[in-house]
Chain A
Amino acid sequence: KNQVEQSPQSLIILEGKNCTLQCNYTVSPFSNLRWYKQDTGRGPVSLTIMTFSENTKSNGRYTATLDADTKQSSLHITASQLSDSASYICVVSASGTYKYIFGTGTRLKVLA
């Protein structure tokens, strides 16, 4: 069964600190993996997208990694800001389909 699991479910950190969010998946055949940021009351916004051959991709203070062998991905946030408070969703798509499998997200709270 295709699944995407994220950890932790929620996280609280102080402004300026770094954090890493985890995503494990069992989707096969794998096409790509995306990380989204979803602010409260808004639709998700794409942060990064990685294909099988990519193992790291950055977008400003966000750096995503992908290990296709172990089927794990991480999203590292550097020097967190209050505006980083949001839900971060890992999404994996399977080859040959428009199906996207969504993780349940990690809810991040950055405190001043």
Chain B
Amino acid sequence: SAVISQKPSRDICQRGTSLTIQCQVDSQVTMMFWYRQQPGQSLTLIATANQGSEATYESGFVIDKFPISRPNLTFSTLTVSNMSPEDSSIYLCSVEESRGETQYFGPGTRLLVL
């Protein structure tokens, strides 16, 4: 199984600033996923990040707002740019085993924007 860590675990930020969330996996994975979970809601996929190519964004999410880096097979970052209170959410990094048998999630980054 994959072990995923995220930094920071939580943060409180001011409106208009940006926060970069880091995701580290203990094994090499092809695809990494970034999700958002707003209070009381289920998970919504933001984008899929492949190493060596541009991230693929879901409807409603754009690269200018959520730029993603994927410099190697074990690491990715998600930046939440020009934050507003509506961005207050839990942001989760996820990977899938190469055989697609299961999906592993990081512990999440709890973001509060004031």
Contact with A along B71-102 (1 / 0, CB 8 A): 00000000000000000000010101000011
Is the CB of A46 closer than 8 A to any CB of chain B?
Answer: yes
Is the CB of A76 closer than 8 A to any CB of chain B?
Answer: no
Determine if B101 and A98 form an interchain contact, defined as CB atoms under 8 angstroms apart: no
Contact of B42 among A43, A46, A49, A105 (CB under 8 A): A105
B21 shortest CB reach to chain A, Å: 13
Chain B residues near A104: list those with CB within 8 A: 41-42
- In the complex formed, the residue of B with least CB distance to A44 is B105
Is the CB of B107 closer than 8 A to any CB of chain A?
Answer: yes
**Chain B binding surface, main DSSP class:** strand
A36-89 with Cβ < 8 A to chain B:
41-46, 49, 89
Contact of A98 among B42, B48, B107 (CB under 8 A): B48
Determine if B110 and A41 form an interchain contact, defined as CB atoms under 8 angstroms apart: yes
Is the CB of B20 closer than 8 A to any CB of chain A?
Answer: no
- In the complex formed, the residue of A with least CB distance to B48 is A98
Residue positions of A touching B, CB distance < 8 A: 34, 41-46, 49, 89, 91, 98-100, 102-105
Residue positions of B touching A, CB distance < 8 A: 4, 31, 33, 41-45, 48, 92, 94, 96, 101-108, 110
